[in-house]
Amino acid sequence: MVNTLHLSDSSISQLIPVPALNDNYIWMVCKGQHAVVIDPGVAAPVQAILDQHSLTLDAILLTHHHGDHVGGVTALQQRNGGVVYGPATETLPVCDIRVTEGDTVSLPNVGLHLQVIDIPGHTAGHVAYHGTLDGNPPLVFCGDTLFAAGCGRLFEGTPEQMTASLAKLAALPLDTLICCAHEYTLANLRWAMQVEPDNTALQKQWLSASQLRANHQPTLPTTLTTELATNPFLRTTAAPVVAAATAYAARPLDSSVAVFASLREWKNNFK
């Protein structure tokens, strides 16, 4: 996995976060002369890479309907073709194949073999695509549901739904690469260190993420192992997180959903 394209070896699949808009990443998977793009909020930076390397766009995968994830899909498909996959129940500018939990998306030209899971909460029909990319650890494209040290806001879902969706992601293999759609890591870590000031894994993450950002490098993908050790939203049963969420709520919290809801409110109000 590299951040710049080296397509001279057509047998290697590459995973690339393309920075876009303020803080989005549009993930691209390329192999030989083929490419797949996930959540193209804008077309231009993707088109530039396709043109520069004369790549065929095989497919566009969408996780949810928000503009910063679908804004470039129509222009990209009109110019390059490519089959658009998207969540079954969301309104999208264009979608050829509607997917829902249990569906598979196989894109052998780039070495991607994915399964769909429903992860409602940020939006009502949000999906993730998880599976394998030849020569790499397992991976998941999770849109705006799970971020490094954070999670998506609940625009269309309940704490119950988001807790269940995050549990599905947390059940993936530990070495799974988490391909989040935003560079929110430093701001999220700053808040997470308020929740768990004594978590040494968090302090280590802060140092490495700070270094990466100072060098204008992405902090992503993160891994499930890292998130389980540092992300408060995946640690709703860890004693220090329960204690902090309870103190913030100023009342007893009787479930991990209640802990999650307190954490989400805390993060929403954190400056």
Closest contact distance (angstroms) between CB of 64 and Zn ion is: 6
Select the residue interacting with Fe ion from 58, 90, 118, 144 (CB under 5 A): 144
Are 182 and 141 a contacting pair, CB within 8 Å? Answer: no
Instruction: For Zn ion, give the closer residue by CB, 19 or 240.
Output: 19
Separation in Å, CA 23 to CA 26, 128, 193, 212, 271? 10, 20, 22, 15, 17
The CA distance from 160 to 50, in Å, is: 40
User: In terms of CB distance, is 144 or 183 closer to Fe ion?
Assistant: 144
User: If binding is defined by CB under 5 A, does position 65 make contact with Zn ion?
Assistant: no
Q: Least separation, in Å, of the C-beta of 59 and Zn ion?
A: 20
**Interacting partner of 130 out of Zn ion, Fe ion, none (Cβ under 5 to 8 A depending on kind):** none
Rule CB under 5 A: is residue 144 a binding residue for Zn ion? yes
CB of 143 to Fe ion, least distance (A): 7
Q: Judged by CB under 5 A, which stretch of 65-73, 103-111, 156-164, 255-263 contacts Fe ion? A: 65-73
Tokens of 157: 């879902």
Based on the shown chain and the rule CB under 5 A, indicate whether residue 183 belongs to the binding site for Fe ion: no
In whole angstroms, how close is the CB of 123 to Zn ion at the nearest point?
7
Q: At what angle do helices 256-269 and 239-249 cross, to 10 degrees?
A: 60
From candidates 58, 68, 183, 196, binder to Fe ion by CB under 5 A: 68
How many residues at the interface with Fe ion, by CB under 5 A? 2
Instruction: Name the 3-class secondary structure at 221.
Output: coil
Where does 116-271 have alpha helices with state H? Answer: 159-170, 185-195, 200-214, 224-230, 239-249, 256-269
**Distance between CA atoms of residues 140 and 186, nearest Å:** 21
Q: Which residues pair with 28 in a beta bridge?
A: 16, 37
Nearer to Fe ion, 68 or 118 (CB): 68
Question: By the criterion CB under 5 A, which residues form the site for Fe ion?
Answer: 68, 144
